[in-house]
Amino acid sequence: MEKIKITINSTECIADKGKTILEIAKENGIEIPTLCHHENVKLYGACGICLVEGKNMPKLMRACSTVAADGMELYTDSERVKKVRAVALELLMSDHEGDCRGPCTLNCPAGTDCQGYVKQIAMGNDREAVKIIKDKLPLPASIGRVCPHPCETACRRTKVEEPISIAFLKYFAADRVLADNPYVPEAAPASGKSVAVVGGGPAGLTAAYYLALKGHGVTVYDAMPKMGGMLRYGIPEYRLPKKVLDAEIAEIESVGVKLVNNVKIGKDITLDELRKQNGAVLVAIGAWKNTGLRCKGEDLEGVMGGIDFLRRVALGEKVDIGKNVAVVGGGNTAMDACRTAVRLGAENVYVIYRRTRDEMPAEKIEISEAMEEGVNFKFLTNPAEILGENGKVNAVKLQIMELGESDASGRRSPVPVEGKFETIALDSVICAIGQKVNVAGFEELELNPWGIISSDERYFTTSLEGVFAVGDATNKGASIAIDAIGEANKAANVIDGYLYGLDTPYTAPVLSKREPDETFFEQFEKAERIKMPVRPAEERKHDFKEINLGFEECAARKEAARCLECGCHDYADCKLIRYADRYRIDTCKLAGEKHECFTERKLEIIERDQGKCILCNLCVRICREDAKQGIIGLVGRGFGTVIRPEFNKPETISVCKDCLKCVTACPTGALKLLNLK
């Protein structure tokens, strides 16, 4: 066979004469993207993605259908090629509605594949579920217990009846795997590079875990006696047993993370010393200072911050709060504080909140359970003055409020009712209205106007070279743990690149999204959400034992099976979205008429989604040329052309069941194999 010599991206390639550019590139390990090519069918050249540029050639060439000529000098990723590919992809995506990821995943700050692990739980594969979770989150048993689950807020099952119990399913699977055979992925070979992480809370532990898995030497420094941050010292034992947290921290340590406690930056070691000793430093110190009430009497003995109160209880200190306690605030910290006060023996516990129950940011279940435990909620009240005698709290004077106009958050603003007050006798007041950052030891870092560390939202860099920052200590301040975990995971990737001298900012993935109309949900039978069994209020309020009893296995499988599986089943292998992400296309740039979106099951074992079809015609050609069947074909002309099965006789179904070549070849997940019972 006569040979030719061509150059692709400066790589010299020797090939048989008569081969296409695409074939030669593949033989030499050079990827040229394509959506419509398959080695088992004839050349087609429909997608326009495989274009390449030739030296001194005015036109771009389709690599899949252009036969290479001796002496060609080709470029597969020139600026011109990338620009044209992006336009081709934008055209394809303009008529593609793929729902790449389910709304649960899109609404999770950590980007956990909720749909993926819920499906595995439904199938009884708990270990595989935990493996999926740990791709984004190293503390599933802990976070599953305490997360306010924004994933469930977005769950489309609410369009049928109630959302999937995603968070509780997470910790169901994690508990079982922890007890049986903990899943710990293998770390990459040692890189010889080191990172110091300051702060052993959810953000610091997460970043340390993923950096260690990448092969880096990671040391976590924390000021407290044990690791865990707010998970240990801000969340009570009855919500998160510390033996569970300890087990998950031990897993993080087992991948090579070194944990060093009782170290204060600026006292035991300086930030500058850490910078000199390591290739990078990540600051994840959280927000441990309480926001004051800003009212007269807040300096009296018996007035304490919610974070301070919970920390002292977690440390085992004796905290004398007396019999009459008021907690000021409406968030989850306030709920933790008031319920902890009940467990410490307080007889009258009040929650003072300036809005109504409907406006409370705390989880609804937390409010309900607090009420069951005897907490008295004083809605539409606000401390006007804390009263005392001999320097000690003895009462609080409350300003009666009413709701006015909506504020920037969308909630109606509370306004005082002139001249209307109420006084309550008290022994202590716990303030839980917000958290601030203690920047002692980090004064070199640039702060924003609110005294919070400024951190770039894509690079997570600070004002000091090699120092990164994430979590509650940065930018917008305190938030939920899963927010900090999400940032830390992204920052670990950025820091990994930085250690190798690479510019790798976090960039949100390009995704296709759609919102089904109400008629879509009519096909699903209603199935009641399985409730988490809890200990009775009269029993649980007297101790700090975990209040949730956990799902029984059959209940968990049944609950997981309620998932509608909204996200694309083929997302991980979808060529279209992989290329769209690689070339950073704008999915909304080209707007216009779209094909009608519908699904059909005429072949019974194969579901075809018209919304995902890009008319590459690969399935038709595979069926006709490779499978020798011709069961599916193009129907219609022009823009209205669609692909449909031509018939569905029983013998046809039998052929399809044993073939499935079209499903395997589809580059977008438009064809899906159904699980028939």
| Predicted pLDDT of residue 520 | 86
Give CA 239 to chain center in angstroms.
Answer: 22
**In this predicted structure, what is the pLDDT of residue 32?**
95
Q: How does pLDDT run across 178-225, given as a tens digit for each residue? A: 999 999 999 999 999 999 999 999 999 999 999 999 999 999 999 999
Q: What are the tens digits of pLDDT across the range 591-637?
A: 777 777 888 887 778 888 888 998 899 999 999 999 898 888 888 88
Q: Are 176 and 114 in contact (CB under 8 A)?
A: no
677, HSE (Cβ side, Cα atoms, 13 Å): 0
pTM of the model: 0.92
Least confident of 162-176, 340-354, 514-528: 514-528
Which whole number is the average pLDDT over 88-105?
91
pLDDT of residue 150: 96
Of 146, 223, 181, which Cα lies nearest the Cα of 546? 146
Q: Which residues fall within 8 angstroms of residue 557, CB to CB, at 6 or more apart?
A: 121, 122, 124
For 634-673, what is each residue's pLDDT tens digit?
888 877 788 877 666 777 777 888 888 999 999 999 999 8
Q: Pick the residue with more confidence: 163 or 655?
A: 163
| pLDDT tens-place string over residues 48-61 | 899 999 999 999 99
Mean pLDDT for all residues in the chain? 93
Say how far residue 229 (Cα) sits from the centre of its chain: 20
The one-letter amino acid code at 570 reads D
CA distance 87 to 589: 10
**CATH 3.30.1300.10 fits domain 3-77:** no
Of 397-401, 575-579, 637-641, the range with the lowest mean pLDDT is: 637-641
pLDDT at 646: 67
CA atoms within 13 Å, Cβ hemisphere of 649: 4
pLDDT digits (tens, 9 = 90+) for 519-540: 889 889 999 999 999 999 999 9
Angle made by CA atoms 302, 306, 312, in degrees to the nearest 5 = 80
Domain 571-673 belongs to what architecture? 2-Layer Sandwich (3.30)
CA angle centred on 162, ends 156 and 168, rounded to 5°:
95
The two tokens of residue 544 are 């700090």
Cβ(577)–Cβ(571) below 8 Å: yes
CA 112, CA 216: separation in Å to the nearest integer? Answer: 23
- Secondary structure of residue 301 in the 3-state scheme: strand
40, 31 contact by CB (below 8 A) = no
Q: Where are the domains of the chain?
A: 3-77, 108-141+161-182+516-560, 194-288+437-499, 293-309+317-433, 571-673
Q: Does domain 194-288+437-499 have CATH number 3.50.50.60?
A: yes
Q: Where are the beta strands (DSSP E) in 432-553?
A: 435-436, 467-469
Q: Can you give the pLDDT at residue 233?
A: 97
Helix, strand, or coil here: 241?
coil
pLDDT at 397 over 60: yes
Task: With cut-offs at 50, 70 and 90, classify the pLDDT of residue 677.
Answer: very low
Decide whether 194-288+437-499 matches 293-309+317-433 in CATH topology. Answer: yes
Q: What's the confidence (pLDDT) of residue 408?
A: 76
**What confidence tens digit (pLDDT) does each residue in 402-444 have?**
998 887 777 788 999 999 999 999 999 999 999 999 999 999 9
What's the CATH architecture for 293-309+317-433? 3-Layer(bba) Sandwich (3.50)
pLDDT of 313 higher than 90: yes
Side-by-side strand order, sheet with 412-425: 381-389, 392-406, 412-425
